[in-house]
Chains A and B, each alone.
Chain A
Amino acid sequence: GDQVEQSPSALSLHEGTGSALRCNFTTTMRAVQWFRKNSRGSLINLFYLASGTKENGRLKSAFDSKERYSTLHIRDAQLEDSGTYFCAAERASSGQKLVFGQGTILKVYL
């Protein structure tokens, strides 16, 4: 069954506002990565977390292995933040292969 449930599937934000994306896991994961797909279709690394939180500019991510979720917070959204965001996680028992969420299509508007 689905191991990574990502929500929302789509999100519209007014420029300057913020929101959060979330991934729930149906099994124990040992690490999570967040990506943004750029305009050329490449996956750009945002965060890798094995625990706790990380912050980079207007983005902040958290991962709780025990509670089986990860979040990506975006604040002060800008037009260039528009794109598709993916979370991907490594199962604790399955080596380094990533299991991906279905993605969140983010649109930031003026």
Chain B
Amino acid sequence: NAGVIQTPRHKVTGKGQEATLWCEPISGHSAVFWYRQTIVQGLEFLTYFRNQAPIDDSGMPKERFSAQMPNQSHSTLKIQSTQPQDSAVYLCASSLDLQGDTQYFGPGTRLLVL
């Protein structure tokens, strides 16, 4: 069990460019979550999927951010027209139980927007 896999581990992008972050959940896990960590805001929820269906995107910025889960083995978080304030560590997590269970976190993608 490799755990939750996130790629790339580090990404540097210029202001205005697009960034796509990838997450592979633990095999068999039905729920996938995205979080963001910054010095100022700490760890904050972005969005989550259950059985590939979007359930709650209340933490997603309304513009420029989107997330998909096209199949059970990966999810993507896409940021269009990146801004310096998007710089953060983006964390993906997955869990097994539909009714609530331990969330297992990946190592994160550190995004730096110059």
Q: Which stretch from B12-20, B38-46, B74-82 is at the chain A interface? A: B38-46
Distance in angstroms between the alpha carbons of A86 and B91 in the assembled complex: 14
Q: Interface SS of chain A: helix, strand, loop or mixed? A: strand
Closest Cβ neighbor of B98 among chain A residues: A96
Contacts of B56 in A (CB 8 A): 94-95, 97
Distance in angstroms between the alpha carbons of A33 and B45 in the assembled complex: 15
Q: What is the interface size of chain A, counting residues whose CB is below 8 A from a CB of the partner?
A: 24
Closest Cβ neighbor of B105 among chain A residues: A43
- For A42-70 the 0/1 string (1 means CB < 8 A from B) is 11010010100000000000000000000
Contacts of B45 in A (CB 8 A): 97-99
Given the known interface contacts A95-B56, A97-B48, the answer about A90 and B100 at a Cβ–Cβ threshold of 8 Å is: yes
Q: What is the minimal beta-carbon distance from A94 to any residue of chain B, in angstroms?
A: 8
Distance in angstroms between the alpha carbons of A42 and B44 in the assembled complex: 15
Distance in angstroms between the alpha carbons of A63 and B13 in the assembled complex: 42
Whether the pair A98, B42 counts as a contact (CB closer than 8 A) is: no
Whether the pair B33, A45 counts as a contact (CB closer than 8 A) is: no
- For A25-43 the 0/1 string (1 means CB < 8 A from B) is 0000011010100001111
Whether the pair B107, A97 counts as a contact (CB closer than 8 A) is: no
Of A41, A48, A94, A101, the contact of B108 (CB 8 Å cutoff): A41
Q: What is the minimal beta-carbon distance from A90 to any residue of chain B, in angstroms?
A: 6
Distance in angstroms between the alpha carbons of A42 and B59 in the assembled complex: 21
Decide yes or no whether A100 CB sits under 8 A from chain B: yes
Whether the pair A41, B89 counts as a contact (CB closer than 8 A) is: yes
Decide yes or no whether A21 CB sits under 8 A from chain B: no
Distance in angstroms between the alpha carbons of A98 and B100 in the assembled complex: 11
Of B31, B56, B95, B105, most A-chain CB atoms within 10 Å: B105
User: B: which residues have CB within 8 A of A?
Assistant: 31, 33, 35, 42-45, 48, 55-56, 58-59, 89, 91, 95, 100-108
Interface pairs (8), CB distance under 8 Å? A35-B105, A42-B108, A45-B104, A95-B56, A97-B33, A97-B59, A100-B43, A102-B42
